[in-house]
Amino acid sequence: MDLRLDRIATLYLVNPVQRRAVTRVSIPILMYHSVSNEAEEGVGAYFRTITSPSVFAQHMRYLHDHEYSTLSLAEAVSRLQNGDSTEKCAVITFDDGYADFARHAFPELNRYGFTATVFLPTAFIGSSSCQFKGRDCLTWSQIRHLKRSNISFGSHTVTHPQLSALTTAGVTREIVDSKQTIEDELGEPVDSFAYPYAFPERNISFVQWLRDVMIDCGYRQGVCTRIGTARRDEDQYFLRRLPINTLDDIPLFSAKLQGAYDWLCTFQSMSKLIRAKIS
């Protein structure tokens, strides 16, 4: 079993202090990927992206039993901008459009009347099942059915590349074409975007340019892989999220919801800076 230093620090150092601190306006945006019983051999706890159906069910039951409501990203941005922190709420997101969302995640969401946003890499979404990273993805028929059942969809690019490594024309194609494809298939505007892979927050000029392109394309909000709860003073196009996987037991899941995992964002940024200097 992995030694969960992030878990130990969160539960026994940060969380006790967090409970006594002045609360800030923030909203947890949960980042799931695959919901399945597939094993992740040789992958450290921090980097896992699979949540078992039984653990996912526990997470959803916790949200319901502790009276959390679920929001769309647009609703979350509105609440953050208005400084509204009177209600316990969360945003539930899924990256990569895996088919196991329909089999395992949606029934639990539907059980409690929860909504969620699924971000689609459109090159791997078709009329029949395609695979991405060795896993089946949703089909357009399944997506249209889910849309009628309170599930929203956003763009996760076309081919899921590291955008900062592409040309400006390549980046534009990835974020424009994916949006257009989803809109053509679903017949409604797409206004949310999820940045794939590690977010290059230190490449300030690239981030600003990307933001401008997103605005020009008609996106109104977005999320990235920076860790933490989304805060009022953040850029609404690159909101932070909380990575969730099958090793998030209820104490850690609860602490993440309350902001006790946000400290890892600073650690994450410092690690990126050190790696950049070494390379």
DSSP state of 126: B
**What confidence tier does 137 reach under pLDDT thresholds 50, 70, 90?**
very high
**What confidence tier does 67 reach under pLDDT thresholds 50, 70, 90?**
very high
Residue 1, pLDDT score: 43
Which segment of 41-45, 57-61, 101-105, 252-256 scores lowest on mean pLDDT? 41-45
The token duo for 272 is: 């990126």
**Cα radius of gyration rounded to whole Å, the chain:** 18
CB atoms within 10 A of CB 228: 22
Burial (CB < 10 A; 0-12, 13-18, 19+), residue 113, is exposed
Percentages helix, strand, coil for the chain, rounded to the nearest 5?
45, 20, 35
End-to-end CA distance of the chain: 31
**What confidence tier does 24 reach under pLDDT thresholds 50, 70, 90?**
low
pLDDT tens-digit readout, 168-224? 999 999 999 999 999 999 999 999 999 999 999 989 999 999 999 999 999 999 999
The token duo for 60 is: 């959803």
Residue 270, pLDDT score: 65
The pTM is what? 0.92
**CA pair distance 47, 203, nearest whole angstrom:** 23
What residue spans define the domains of the chain? 5-278
Please choose, from the candidates 233, 244, 201, the residue with its C-alpha nearest in 3D space to the C-alpha of residue 105.
244
Mean pLDDT of 227-247: 95
Q: For all residues of the chain together, what is the average pLDDT?
A: 91
**23 half-sphere exposure, CB direction, 13 A CA radius:** 12
Residue 34, pLDDT score: 98
The domain 5-278 belongs to what CATH superfamily? Glycoside hydrolase/deacetylase (3.20.20.370)
Residue 22, pLDDT score: 46
Burial (CB < 10 A; 0-12, 13-18, 19+), residue 121, is buried
